[in-house]
Chains A and B, each alone.
Chain A
Amino acid sequence: MSLSARVRIPAAARAGEVIEIRTLVSHPMETGFRVDSFGRRVPRNILTRFSCHYAGREIVTMDLRPGIAANPYLAFRFVADVSGPVELRWEGDQGEVLTEGGHIEVTGA
C-alpha cells in the first residue's frame, strides 16, 4: 500500500496538561533478512527515522530498526505548554518522506 498515516493530535489542551499523540503508518518494514521463493534476498525496506516537532522544538526522535513489524504504531505523551504547530516526519530507506501535521491550542497559564 502506498505510504500513508493515521495521526491523532489533540486540537486543544490546558497549559501543563499531559497529552498524547498517536500515529499509525502503512509501511512494509521489510527486514532485509528474508529470501523470496527463488532464494533471492529481499532488499531491506524500512522506515529508519521518526521525529516530532512541537512549537519549533524537536520533542521526539526515534531510530527504527528491522525488528519493528510492518505498519508501525507509535504513540508518545508530553506536556503541552504553548500553542503551536506539530509536525510529524517519517523517513525511509528508499528516500521516502511522509509528513503529517496539526496544531495544538493551549489555554490557561
Chain B
Amino acid sequence: MRRWLLTALLLGSAVSAEHAERQSGYALLGDELRALQDDDFANPGMLWVDAGERLWSQAAGPDGRSCQDCHGDPTSLRGLANRLPRFDADSERLKNLDTLVRNCREQRQQAAALPHESEDLLALTTLIAHQSRGLPLDVTVDGAASAAFEQGRASFERRRGQLDLSCADCHERLQGARLRGETISAGMINGFPLYRLTWEGLGSRQRMIRWCNEAVRAEPMNPDSQGALALELYLAWRGRGLTLETPAVRR
C-alpha cells in the first residue's frame, strides 16, 4: 500500500513507460549543459583528465615505475573502459575500472593504495575512460560472467530501503516521468566518471549507485563487493550500444 501510494505520487499525471528506452542522460540536459559537456576546454571533467595525464607518467612505488612505463601512451587503453566491468576467470571475481587501477597501483607498482573516490584514483580512471569516448558499451555477460550478470539483474529488480523501491521501479517503469523538478533518467552509466553539478566534482559509477541507494534510504553497497560490481555489470549491459561520454556533465 505504502509503495503503491509513493508510486502514484512519483507518477503524477505522467504515463508510465513499461519498457525502458536506452537513453543517455545527455538527452535530459538543457542546451547550456550539453554545450558544457561538448566543449573539451570548458568541460570541468577535463581538469581530472589533465590531472590523470600528470599522474600517468609519475613514478610510484619502490621500483619507481609509472603507468607509462608498462602501458605506454594512455591511448593504448582505448577500448578498455567500455568493456568493464569484466569477469576475471583467474580470481573468479568481477573487476571494474577502479579495481584494475587500484590493483595495478598496489600489486604492480607496490605503491600506496588509492582510496575510492580519491582525486588521484578519479584522475586516472577518468583519463583511461576518456580514451574510450565514443565507443559503445559492450560488456560480456555470458559464459563465466552469467552468474554475476543474473545477480546484477536480480539486484536491479530488488526493492530496498525505507522507500521500498527497486532501481527498476524508477529507472525502468517510471523513466521519463517527473520527480519534482527532475525527469527520471533511464539510469544509464555511459558517462562515468562524470562531473555532477550536485557534487561540484567528479564521481564514479559506484558513487552514483551509492547515492541512489541513499536516496531510497537503503544501506549503501561496499564498492568492492561483488554485489555492487554485479549491479554495475547489469547496468552496463542495460546501456549496451550507448557510447561512452567520459567525462560527461550531469546535474
Contacts and interface: CB of A to CB of B under 8 A. Distances in A.
Given A1-B119, A6-B50, A73-B42, 7 more contacts: A1-B48, A2-B119, A6-B46, A24-B41, A69-B200, A70-B44, A71-B47
Contacts of A6: 41, 46-47, 50
Interface residues of A, number: 14
B134 interface: no
B51 interface: yes
Given A70-B201, A71-B200, A4 B41 contact: no
B44 A1 contact: no
Contacts of A22: 41-42
B47 A26 contact: yes
Interface of A: 1-2, 4, 6, 8, 22, 24, 26, 28-29, 69-71, 73
B50 A4 contact: yes
Contacts of A24: 41-42, 44, 46-47
Interface residues of B, number: 13
B123 interface: yes
Interface of B: 41-42, 44, 46-48, 50-51, 119, 123, 197, 200-201
B47 A1 contact: yes
A65 B200 CA distance: 16
A72 B50 CA distance: 16
Nearest to B48: A1
Nearest to A72: B44
